[in-house]
Chains A and B, each alone.
Chain A
Amino acid sequence: MSAIDALTLAVVQAGLQQVCNEMDIAFSRSAFSPVIAEADDRSDGIYDRDTGALVAQGEYGLPVFVGTMQYSTGELIRLIREGRVGAPEPGDIYIVNDPYLGGTHLMDVRFVKPVFVDGSLFCWLQNTGHWPDIGGMVPGGFSAHATEVEQEGLRLPPVKLFKRGAMDPEIFSIISSNIRVADQRIGDIKAQGAALAVGETRLLDLIAKYGRDNLDQAIREIRARSAERMRAEIRGIPDGVYRSEAFVDSDGVVNEPLRIALTMTKAGDGLTFDFAGSSPPCRGPMNSVIATTLSSVYLAVKHVFPDVPINAGTFEPLTVLRPEGTFLDARYPRPVSGCAAEVSQRIAEAVFLALVQAIPDRVTAAPAGTSGNFALGGFDPAKDAPYVMYQITGGGYGGNADHDGLTNGCSTIGISKTAPVEVMEQYYPVLFRRFALHEGSGGAGAHRGGFGVHYEVELLRGEARASFVMDHGRFGPPGVQGGRDGAPNVVRIHRDGGVFTPPHLSKDQNIAIRAGDRVEVMTPGGGGYGDPRERDPALIARDVARGYYTPEQAVALWGRR
């Protein structure tokens, strides 16, 4: 490799990364949906023209999309080749949200734009944005009871929403007629398209500077280098077979836990993930499509080796055996609304629990691992308008070899922030009675887990329906290396002078509430790391003084106070 190549490579890699980062920022800053604008539930990337393989993806994008978007692009390319979707022309943007075509759940809407150089296709740009509603039986789309995908909302195959630069008003009309609170979607659609335009402009600058052929060559080389980088990390893991399991509380319809069984084999510079033995496809919406299952494995590995850059090469050394016949490889018409937010995190948890056996210094105990989706849909009589309110919450991260777990960390598949209480109360007819730390929730250990959140929200006016898709209500996040589990998730509805607990604990939908009723949620704490008896007594005393644990809990958990 000559001198100029090493330099060009590094420069091109940084340049491609900047293109993606700028798309991420432009999308968030101009979006209307708070899920995108405030919570950054979106991702932008560049994909190979022939295969859809990932070339580069924004550093500020949602992790769960790290592996899905290349499959989505790949499926689009296949459908174009088969003549089932129109061929790309300059200025076109395809819209698609079909989960079975390389997606997640229906709310994650993908825009795909071809980039042409001198009349021939150079690559694809794609972004995914989580829309606040996509129709279906539940406001916000997180159904807990759906048994087929049609109940979950509007499903769009790849169609050209923009043709040669102009939006097709008829397709827009179909979309806006099928979703709730449609009046702001025009703003999000323009923002989502404009972000791709920003990326195209910057990418064309890069192509003009380095030349199409050089850029192609650099992209191939970067991919090979990333694969090598990942192999180097994997070589540091002791050879062996590592087994772990994780449980989803229920599918929302049948009240039985779903099991994820993982056998991870490390040999040489490769890692193989086999999910054989996991539960079969389920009736409720906790099925995962294959793209989401793969992405969940990738993002978990990336969390353990965060310095490896993201492109298709990064994941070449990882082999995921297709989990046919399990709920981790859902086919039409299985409902899937829980896969992106919850099942993905259980899959990642299984990967963490396998890896921590092999490299205990580099992996934490299980994090809370639920997105805490709570949707409240109703009609505000004071504003004479319908609304859909979303609340997401974090939980405790796992203790680890270095320190206690982080409190109220983001879901592992997300980077989204929660909306401030003051913002929620400005926009929706609700009042928070508390937004506090979930006391006692951190799993005991030499390094304890971080704490979850404990909030309680009251409906001020009118009537509304509450829906929940959360997890870890039945079992807390596991501790490791002798540490205890974190506290599980709790949902309680205070109404009619009584307390209602959903039968599935963490999942339910359309629970009717009226003004004065309250919803109370306590999110999980992280798992503990190491033997609790090895914890520094001064830290136990500090935690009691802070009210993190009662003196009685301290005695029970650590044998001292």
Chain B
Amino acid sequence: MRRVAGIDVGGTFTDLLLTEAGPDGLAVRLAKVPTTARNQAEGVIAAIAAAERRPADLDLVIHGTTATTNAVLERKTAKVGLVTTAGFRDVLELGRRTRPKPYGLFGTFAPLIPRELRREVPERVMADGTVRTPLDEDAVREAVRALVAEGCEALVIHFLHAYANPAHELRAGAIARESWPNAYVTLGHALLSEFREYERGTTASVNAAVQPILDRYVARLQRELREGGFSRDLLVMNGNGGTVPASHVVHEAAKTVMSGPASGVMAAAATLAQTGLANAITYDMGGTSTDVALIAGGVPEVSAELTIDYGLPIHLPMVDVHTVGAGGGSIASVNRAGMLQVGPESAGSEPGPIGYGRGGTRPTITDANLVLGRLDPARLTAVRAGVSLDAIRDAFARDLAGPLGMSVEEAAAAVIRLGNVHMTGAIRMVSLSRGYDPRDFVLFAFGGAGPLHAVALARELGIPEVLVPARPGLTNALGCLVADLRQDRVNTLNRPLDGLDMADLRATLEAQAADALAVVAEEADEIDETTVRYGADMQFRGQTHLIRVALPGPDITREAMQALFEDAYHKRFQVRLPEIRAVVVNLVTSVIGRRRAFPLSSLLDPAARAGTVEDSRLGARPLYADGRWQEAAVYAREALPFGARIEGPAVVQQVDATTVIEPGAVATVDDIGNLRIRA
């Protein structure tokens, strides 16, 4: 019996999916327990217990944590010191002359490393990598000594143009390690070898600021797992959608930031592959925000230009998740001009929507779903300090229906429609504005609230089909289970293609691959197949933005590379520019160790499955849709037989989510348990 647990720590819940492979086939166990914010490891252990297993029973744990993301967002990071090029200690504080919002002059920014902990040393490398001022090694020793004395726990060494010539950073790093009391020394170029000193330095400072926190957390988790008898491997999710052995994860701690949304997208990619689909827009709607991403040709889009928070860009390859601040908790109101508005204010999870009974008094998207029967109002009584539906309707009448001169139902329907419009904006940003037509994609809906809105949203966008996976509320934990091992390497060239030595290009790509393959090989037991993907970030000479071009291999001709770039550019901008030279800015290699797939159909317990659709029917309730109350059949998701066909209006309920099938839509359950809805 081989047991593998995927455990994802989210903002509210810690989710577990456990597979047990034995001679009789595969069984799955699920658990959902509250997240323990102070020490996430407690919740992890509790989740294992809730699945009625002990750590000792497990062969492998794959873990997604929000420890680093939260530390940065709440600015509860380690004390970090900086050693940098003379004249440039303020780069991290000055940024690139921005303000938090396009309009309004209020707002503040504090860098992760305060000025008194930023030390300068004489040294200077030029843009072409030549040395103008040699490294003053005594100054490095003195700066390091001072920062240790200040009580810094982690250190960043960040020199100008180190991406072009890292010798000074490497030497300063060696000097620092002689006296630094721990291993938390981050060299700017080591994590990201690209130009732009603010972005590279900030990425390094994020890494240093979360390194001790992640290290302590992983050590604690490993200790608690060990005390429970677990002695096997622990893998940790990265924001690029891959996993890394726990022994390596701390070294590049910044890569775990934003890993939660990434793992949901990886689960979607795995589900699509087993479904036989290639293109999807993922739509993960939670209580406070909604994450949208694009999967084309089976591969999630990756970006290296994400920003965690105002002034904190993190230029590492991450699954390109677009987040909008609209979720179930988004508050609906009538603004001073008498116009309906949904968000950006949110009730969050505390006090949350009125329906949560935690003291919320203002109407939210979740409350609108309750008013319209899309969520089961009968479940309100199950909430502690329960709230009546009348109380919610009263709030809609007072805040929205009255001022707008509508009925309560019309107001609630308008709230949902407007909330959907904000989501369609996010979806267009990840699809249309990148040259993709959303009509060529399925809408992959998950998260607690995604399946509630997906069909209406798909209609708004002209997307023909919605796919709701078997366990929409446990998708991130599934992402841990299916995520591949992944290592990315980036080097900056910034040279015109027609002046490039193609043998050098080949050597760089091959060296990147060899380096990354060595790390992935450490987990050879877990891997079915290892693939290497090569790419180049390119631009026309004179531009500053980049386009990622996939390369077939390291051995490529100049002409082939030119053609690949021109085609990619035309697809994105509908422009051809034969007049202008192409430039290769970065070379990128990703090594992916494909984990063994497991059959997703096992996520739904066959024992719970009914023989006919009728047997899975729980009853019916009134649902407000298309401007009138209609009778909607209600089904239990776990009981739906494969091949079942349901016509809307209908509601499909399961422990972790509710799916609304709008009037006129038709849903079928496919042969691995996905709900496929013709919008």
In the complex, which residues of chain A have a beta carbon less than 8 angstroms from the beta carbon of B422? 14
| Further contacts, 16 of them, CB under 8 A, given A303-B105, A436-B88, A437-B90 | A3-B405, A3-B406, A6-B339, A6-B414, A26-B573, A30-B543, A232-B337, A306-B104, A393-B97, A397-B105, A407-B93, A409-B99, A420-B96, A422-B160, A422-B196, A547-B116
Q: Are A410 and B406 in contact, with the CB atoms below 8 A?
A: no
Residues of A in contact (CB 8 Å), total: 88
Instruction: List the A residue with the shortest CB-CB distance to B540.
Output: A187
> Out of A202, A299, A409, A548, which one reaches B97, CB within 8 Å?
A409
B482 to chain A, nearest CB (A): 32
Question: Are A397 and B432 within 8 A (Cβ)?
Answer: no
B560 at interface, CB cutoff 8 A: no
**Residue among B97, B101, B195 with most chain A CB within 10 A:** B97
A174 interfacial contact with B, CB 8 Å: no
Q: Which residue of the partner chain B has the closest CB to A367?
A: B105
B interface footprint on A422-434 (CB within 8 Å = 1, 0 otherwise):
1101100001111
Q: Could you write out 30 A-B pairs with CB less than 8 Å apart? A: A6-B406, A21-B429, A25-B433, A26-B433, A32-B540, A32-B580, A183-B579, A191-B573, A229-B339, A299-B103, A303-B104, A394-B97, A394-B98, A400-B106, A406-B105, A407-B94, A415-B102, A416-B97, A420-B96, A421-B88, A421-B197, A422-B195, A426-B127, A431-B124, A432-B87, A436-B89, A437-B93, A437-B115, A546-B114, A547-B116
A223-277 residues at the B interface, CB under 8 angstroms: 225-226, 228-229, 232-233
Q: Is the pair A1, B575 in contact by a Cβ cutoff of 8 Å?
A: no
**A533 in the interface (beta carbon within 8 A):** no
When the two chains form their complex, are residues B579 and A186 in contact, meaning their CB atoms are under 8 A apart?
Answer: yes
- Asked if A18 is at the interface of the complex by the 8 Å CB criterion, the answer is yes
Q: Which residues of chain B are within 8 angstroms of A404 by Cβ–Cβ distance? A: 108
Neighbouring B residues of A406 by C-beta, 8 Å: 99, 105, 107-109
Please tell me if the beta carbons of B196 and A187 are within 8 angstroms of each other in the complex: no
- Shortest Cβ distance from residue A356 to the other chain B in the assembled complex, whole angstroms: 11
| Chain B residues within 8 Å of chain A by Cβ, number | 73
A1 to B432, CA, bound (A): 34
Q: Once bound together, how far apart are the Cα atoms of A519 and B106, in whole Å?
A: 32
Judged by a CB distance under 8 angstroms, whether B563 is at the interface is no
Q: Are A425 and B98 in contact (CB under 8 A)?
A: no
Q: Find chain B residues with CB under 8 A from A13 CB.
A: 339
Cβ contacts under 8 Å, A397 to chain B: 99, 105
- Most chain-A Cβ atoms within 10 A of its Cβ — which of B108, B127, B422, B428? B127
Known A-B contacts A18-B428, A400-B106, A425-B127; the reply to A187 vs B195 at CB < 8 A is no
Q: Which residues from B are CB-within-8-Å of A89?
A: none
Contacts of B94 in A (CB 8 A): 407-408, 435-437, 453
Assembly CA distance A194 to B569 (angstroms): 13
Closest residue of chain A to B124, judged by CB?
A431
Contact A229 B160 (CB under 8 A): no
**Contact (Cβ within 8 A) A10 B418:** yes
Residue A73 at the B interface, CB < 8 A?
A: no
A407 contacts B115, C-beta separation under 8 Å: no
Judged by a CB distance under 8 angstroms, whether A190 is at the interface is yes
The answer on a CB contact under 8 Å between A403 and B339 is: no
User: Which residue of chain B has the shortest Cβ distance to A36 in the bound complex?
Assistant: B544
Residues B575 and A418 in contact, CB atoms below 8 Å apart: no
Query: Which residues of A sit under 8 angstroms from B196, Cβ to Cβ?
Result: 420, 422-423
Cβ–Cβ < 8 Å partners of A18 in chain B: 425, 428
State how many angstroms separate the Cβ of B123 from the closest Cβ of chain A: 13
Q: Is A15 an interface residue (CB 8 A)?
A: yes
B543 / chain A contacts, CB cutoff of 8 Å: 30-32, 37, 187
Contact of B90 among A303, A426, A436 (CB under 8 A): A436
Asked if B425 and A14 make an inter-chain contact with CB atoms under 8 angstroms apart, the answer reads yes
A228-B344 Cα distance, complex, nearest whole Å? 21
Question: What CA separation (Å) do A394 and B90 show in the bound complex?
Answer: 14
- In the assembled complex, which residues on chain A have CB atoms less than 8 Å from the CB atom of B341? 10
For the complex, give the distance between the alpha carbons of A476 and B102 in Å. 24
Decide: B407 and A435 in contact? CB cutoff 8 A.
no
User: Is B87 a contact partner of A435 (Cβ separation < 8 A)?
Assistant: yes
Of B109, B160, B338, B494, the residue contacting A225 (CB under 8 A) is: B338
Query: CB of B126 within 8 A of chain A?
Result: yes
Contacts of B417 in A (CB 8 A): 7, 11
Among B105, B116, B572, B575, which residue has its beta carbon within 8 angstroms of that of A398? B105
